Amino acid sequence: MEQTPNAVEDKQDTGTLSRRDFLFGLGPSIGAIAFSSLLATEEAPAAASSPLAPKQPIVPAKAKACIFLMMEGGPSHIDTFDPKPKLQGLHMKKFVRTGKNFSAMSSGNRYYVQSPFSSRRVGRSGADMSDGFKHLAGVADEICFYRGCQAESVNHPAAMYHMNTGNRFGGDPAVGSWVTYGLGTLNQNLPAFIVLPELAYPQGGAANWSNGFLPAHYQGTPLRSSGSPILDIHPPAGISRDHQRRSLDLLASLNQAHLEKHPEHDELAARMANYELAFRMQMEVPDIIDIDREGEKTKALYGIGAEGTDAFGRRCLLARRLVEQGVRFVQVYSGGWDSHDFLERAHGALIHSIDKPIAGLITDLRQRGLLDETLLIWCGEFGRSPDNGVRDGGVAYGRDHNPDAMAMWFAGGGFKAGHIIGATDDIGAKAIDVVHPIRDMHVTVLRQLGLDDNKLTYFHGGRFKQLSQFGGSLIKELIT
């Protein structure tokens, strides 16, 4: 229990470092020394007491970092990694839905829909993949496929919140926030939890990477794919670095004088140090995220520069660069998987857009020796239905939302590579074997990162809260 990063909400969240840690060296002259110490953060006096300082895992960790590939919109398991040949015989036959989720999806005429794609078994392990996955097939044996996970909501934002924060209604901390709260991060000059969204934010917006009730240090920072990577990281046009340094020196001097009048006000020093850190980040972050520093061969491996794969490929390569730099948790978004219609076109294009980039990411991590210490997660917020309804007065070849079955896989991080765990029924309507709710997946992911969901708690609103909400169980079948 002594390692449990429990905190009590009563402790005012000042997020401050004690004055002793900072007083030394601060003042107008600090600018000069700041540059050289940029990457030597682990020796920096600040590291030990920072809320983001690296912390010991609670349980033995199988991975140091996590890359969470989030397919927003609900990718169809049936058309990706969980083929259902039986649907070919049922195609266009009338379907009757029963059950609790009485909504628009259960009204009107419905019919079965077969997959527009053929499927085959790949790798030594014989994993199922639809034909569009040409490159991922090459690394299939690194992957642990899971077919037993079930969501609870049929609405995108609620299901997204559930997958990302453990709470369908949002407002709670994201998985990445919990992980960085529990483990801190290895690079104090970069945010600990970074999100690489599509140009358009997903439904539900930034609440998908919110720190919720945890202190603000644990909030996901979106790195934007165009424009300024971090908001306002640069001053408005026309202000040179030297000019800004001059302003910062004056500020440091004013703050120093103020500090001397208020020597016991701890927050002052922390806030002063932040200006220096920001000044350093301003210079360093653009370099760190500049993927043009990578060789052409590496870029090609991710499909960068090629039609259809460039955008996601860039995000995957950036994710690797960040993890390499010590960022603890990176979430990468791919959007638009909500194929109620035009399944073949839409899923076809999306599968193409992620296939090479993800295969490249796995290959690259492996060849750099990082795959073992990095956990990859791939999933959406729910799966899709084996049937569809009439749309706009005509037959639509698509699928509705399905919380009862979905596709999900893991690589690295001590998951059982080369295995398929769990099963769905013969039409893909429902998970039937090794069935677990999302919270159990969360518990398992935390465990592999060295965290125990029951101990990784934060006191808020009258009780110790945790990612799984009320506790969950480890999915033992998934891990070695």
Partner 1 sequence: MFVRDVFPLFQQKCFSCHGDDPQSIMGGFNMSSREGLLKGGVSGLPALAPGSPEKSRIYVAASWQDADLQMPPREKNRLNTEQIELIHKWIALGAPWADTTTPPKEDAWVQASLDSGDGVIVPTSGGLSQAWSQRRYQAEDLWAFQSVKRCPIPWDDPKDGDKGNPIDAVIDRKLKQAGIQPAGPAHRRIWIRRASFDLIGLPPTPQEIRRFVEDESPEAYEKVINRLLASPHYGEQWGRHWLDVVRYADTSGFANDYERPNAWRYRDYVIRSFNEDKPFNRFIIEQVAGDELDPANPELLIAVGFLRAGPWEHTAMSVAAETRQFFLDDVTNSVGESFLATPLRCARCHDHKFDPIPTRDYYRMQAVFASAQFAAADAPFLPRENQAGFAEGKQRVQRLLKEARDALAIIQAKEDAAARVWFEESGLSYRPKKERRKLPEDQRPPRYVGLTYQDLGVRKALQKRIQRLSRQMDRYRPLAFSVDNRPATKPAKAGARQAKPRVDKVPQTHILMGGSVYAPGESVTPGVLSALPGSHDQKAPAAFNTIPISRDGRRLALANWLANPNNPLTTRVTVNRIWQYHFGRGLAGNPNNFGKTGTKPTHPELLDWLTQTFIERGWSIKSLHRLIMGSQVYRRAGYEPEMRKAKEKNPANQLLAYFNPRRMSAEELRDSMLAVSGELNPEMGGLPIKPEINMEVALQPRHIMGSVAEAYQPSRTPAERNRRTIYAYRLRGLADPMLEVFNQPNADASCERRMASTVTPQVFSLFNSQNSHDRALALAHRLMQERDNLSQRIQWAYQLAYGRGPTTDEITQASTFFDSTVTYHHQHPPKQQSPPTQVKRHMFEEMTGEAFEYIERLDVYEDYVADLKPWDVGPQTRALADLCLVLMNANEFVYIY
Residues 38-77 that bind partner 1 (CB under 8 A): 73
For partner 1, the closer of residues 85 and 171 by Cβ is 171
Mapped onto helix, strand or coil, the DSSP state of residue 379 is strand
| Residues 215 to 234 in contact with partner 1, rule: CB under 8 A | 215-217, 221, 224, 227-228, 230-234
**Rounded distance between C-alpha atoms, residue 368 and residue 366, angstroms:** 5
Find the helix or strand (DSSP H, E) in which 280 lies.
Answer: helix 266-288
CB of 146 to partner 1, least distance (A): 25
Binding segment for partner 1 (CB under 8 A), chosen from 111-119, 243-251, 315-323, 362-370, is: 243-251
Residue 51 vs residues 29, 172, 360, 415, 461: alpha-carbon distances, Å = 26, 19, 34, 29, 21
Residue count (the chain) = 480
For partner 1, the closer of residues 48 and 216 by Cβ is 216
Candidates 216, 191, 453, 466; CA nearest to 328 is 191
**HSE of 153, CA atoms in CB hemisphere, 13 A:** 17
| Residues 400 to 439 in contact with partner 1, rule: CB under 8 A | 401
For partner 1, the closer of residues 276 and 453 by Cβ is 276
Among the listed residues 205, 241, 367, 476, the single contact to partner 1 using CB under 8 A: 205
Count of chain residues binding partner 1 (CB under 8 A): 98
CB of 368 to partner 1, least distance (A): 28
For partner 1, the closer of residues 376 and 429 by Cβ is 429
| Residues 150 to 179 in contact with partner 1, rule: CB under 8 A | 154-158, 169-171
**Rounded distance between C-alpha atoms, residue 154 and residue 290, angstroms:** 38
Candidates 143, 478, 196, 181; CA nearest to 323 is 196
**Rounded distance between C-alpha atoms, residue 330 and residue 347, angstroms:** 24
CB of 400 to partner 1, least distance (A): 8
Amino acid (one-letter) located at 22: F
CB of 380 to partner 1, least distance (A): 13
Among the listed residues 32, 36, 89, 240, the single contact to partner 1 using CB under 8 A: 240
Sign of CA dihedral 448, 450, 452, 458: negative
For partner 1, the closer of residues 3 and 14 by Cβ is 14
Residues 6+ apart with CB under 8 A from 270: 14, 15, 16, 17, 22
Find the helix or strand (DSSP H, E) in which 281 lies.
Answer: helix 266-288
Residue 125 vs residues 144, 222, 314: alpha-carbon distances, Å = 10, 36, 29
| Residues 258 to 317 in contact with partner 1, rule: CB under 8 A | 258-259, 262-265, 267-268, 270-272, 274-275, 277-278, 281
CB of 150 to partner 1, least distance (A): 15
| Residues 174 to 203 in contact with partner 1, rule: CB under 8 A | 199-203
For partner 1, the closer of residues 221 and 298 by Cβ is 221
| Residues 77 to 136 in contact with partner 1, rule: CB under 8 A | 100-105
For partner 1, the closer of residues 320 and 384 by Cβ is 384
**Rounded distance between C-alpha atoms, residue 209 and residue 161, angstroms:** 9
**Rounded distance between C-alpha atoms, residue 416 and residue 225, angstroms:** 33
CB of 299 to partner 1, least distance (A): 22
| Residue 393 binds to partner 1 (criterion: CB under 8 A) | yes
For partner 1, the closer of residues 101 and 125 by Cβ is 101
CB of 156 to partner 1, least distance (A): 6
For partner 1, the closer of residues 126 and 171 by Cβ is 171
Binding segment for partner 1 (CB under 8 A), chosen from 85-93, 136-144, 209-217, 428-436, is: 209-217
For partner 1, the closer of residues 243 and 476 by Cβ is 243
| Residues 307 to 366 in contact with partner 1, rule: CB under 8 A | 335-336, 338-342, 345-350
Among the listed residues 71, 143, 186, 207, the single contact to partner 1 using CB under 8 A: 207
Residues 6+ apart with CB under 8 A from 432: 423, 424, 425
Mapped onto helix, strand or coil, the DSSP state of residue 369 is coil
CB of 195 to partner 1, least distance (A): 13
CB of 289 to partner 1, least distance (A): 15
**Rounded distance between C-alpha atoms, residue 365 and residue 63, angstroms:** 13
**Rounded distance between C-alpha atoms, residue 173 and residue 467, angstroms:** 8
DSSP 73: T
For partner 1, the closer of residues 196 and 370 by Cβ is 196
DSSP 202: P
For partner 1, the closer of residues 184 and 412 by Cβ is 184
CA dihedral 27→29→35→40, nearest 10 degrees, is: -60
